[in-house]
Amino acid sequence: MKISLHLCFILLLTFVSLPALRAQVPTDAFMMPKGQICVAAIYTNDTWDEYWEGTLKRSNGNIGTLTRQSIMPMVALGITDRINVIAALPWMKTEASGGQMRGSSGFQDLGLWLKGRVYVKTIGKGVFSLHGVLGAAIPTSDYLEDYAPFSLGLGCPDFSIRATAEHRLDMGLYLRGSAAYMIRGNAKIERDYYYTTHGVYSDEVDMPNAMSYAGTLGCWFFNNDLQLEVTYDGQTTYGGFDIRRQDAGFPSNKMNFTRAGAFAHYHFRFAPGLGVVAQYNHVLTGRNVGQSTAISGGITYQFGLWNKDEVVETTN
């Protein structure tokens, strides 16, 4: 008996699970100043031993505990004070504690985003800002997308449009909301027949679109040296189908989840521009996904390219 599941954290997967770095990611409201660049390297360990087969939560002795590890380099560049470019390319490894199936490893999807601050206004003792993001994720290696739950990604191009609003008080407390709609192209698998709710004679898989959303409460402490956040986020898939009883997962499954997490970022005063990050996420509810717990940690470093006199700061 082989029961498995394809777990995808978008932007991404892919990139919905990215830590909210000061280096900035598509879901936050931070903007790099013109000519400034921030590089980051993040390690994540993500595990689950139970998953939802449709709406039925279960375990699988042939998988045991699935572990997904990733090392993700990221870079964010300030083209102008209002326009930033972000890129990320994770390397991943998957393995299970039970069964006879081998895991896989390799580079996943290259993510590219163009982020702009479209509106900012002082309101009382705080600042309200609105940001828009256009993004794309494209597979960079010939990984097997039809190899759940060991596959590295969905194996399809993913285009997204995102809106983020944040209100930050002068004392450092802020509230942020973000939502994105993702349009996915077809995935190509290494067989010419598959079954969803009906038989399909093709190696092209019609991938369902999806929407992600997140709400974040955060605060800056110690003169903006320490940033702490708590987040509730999720994903809703428009279309797709459930994993059938005793069957394997498939790239076009309906993958819904809600998740809660905490994040911390500390900036060292003795080394301007250098910081460390840590994050914890746990899936609360789901459909055709694993109930995973993910722990991340890494470093960030910000410096000037053509605007080297710009002061490194933590404000929006």
**Span 281-306, mean pLDDT?**
96
Amino acid letter for position 188: K
Domains and CATH numbers, the chain: 11-304 (2.40.160.40)
pTM for the full predicted model: 0.89
pLDDT at 94 exceeding the cut of 50: yes
Q: Convert the pLDDT of each residue in 241-260 to its tens digit.
A: 999 998 989 999 999 999 99
Structure confidence at residue 309 as a pLDDT band (50, 70, 90): low
27: left (phi over 0), alpha (psi -120 to 50) or beta: alpha
The pairing of strands 158-169 and 173-184 is antiparallel
Q: For residue 147, what are its two tokens?
A: 């190899």
Counting DSSP H helices and E strands in the chain, the numbers are: 0, 22
Q: What percent of the chain has pLDDT over 70?
A: 89
Give me the pLDDT at residue 246, please.
86
Contact in structure between 277 and 263 (CB atoms under 8 Å): yes
Residue 99: Cβ within 10 Å count? 15
Nearest residue to 288 (alpha-carbon basis) of 66, 69, 64, 58: 58
Give SS3 for 301. strand
Segment 119-133 shows an average pLDDT of 96
More confident residue, 306 or 89: 89
Question: Is residue 18 predicted with pLDDT exceeding 80?
Answer: no
CA distance 288 to 250: 10
Amino acid, single-letter form, for residue 144: L
Give the span between the Cα atoms of 228 and 218, in whole angstroms: 6
Q: Check residue 49 and report its DSSP letter.
A: S
Q: What is the pLDDT of residues 131-181, one digit of tens each?
A: 999 999 999 999 999 999 999 999 999 999 999 999 999 999 999 999 999
pLDDT computed for residue 25 by the predictor: 79
Position 306 scores a pLDDT of 83
Q: What is the pLDDT of residue 12?
A: 30
User: Mean pLDDT of all residues in the chain?
Assistant: 90
Q: Which pLDDT score, from 0 to 100, does residue 214 have?
A: 97
- C-alpha to C-alpha distance for 32 and 210, rounded to whole angstroms: 28
- Residue 248 is predicted with a pLDDT of 87
pLDDT in tens, 185-236: 999 999 999 999 999 999 999 999 999 999 999 999 999 999 999 999 999 9
* pLDDT at residue 6 tops 90: no
> Given the structure tokens 């600042």, which residue do they identify?
127
Length of the chain: 316
SS3 39: strand
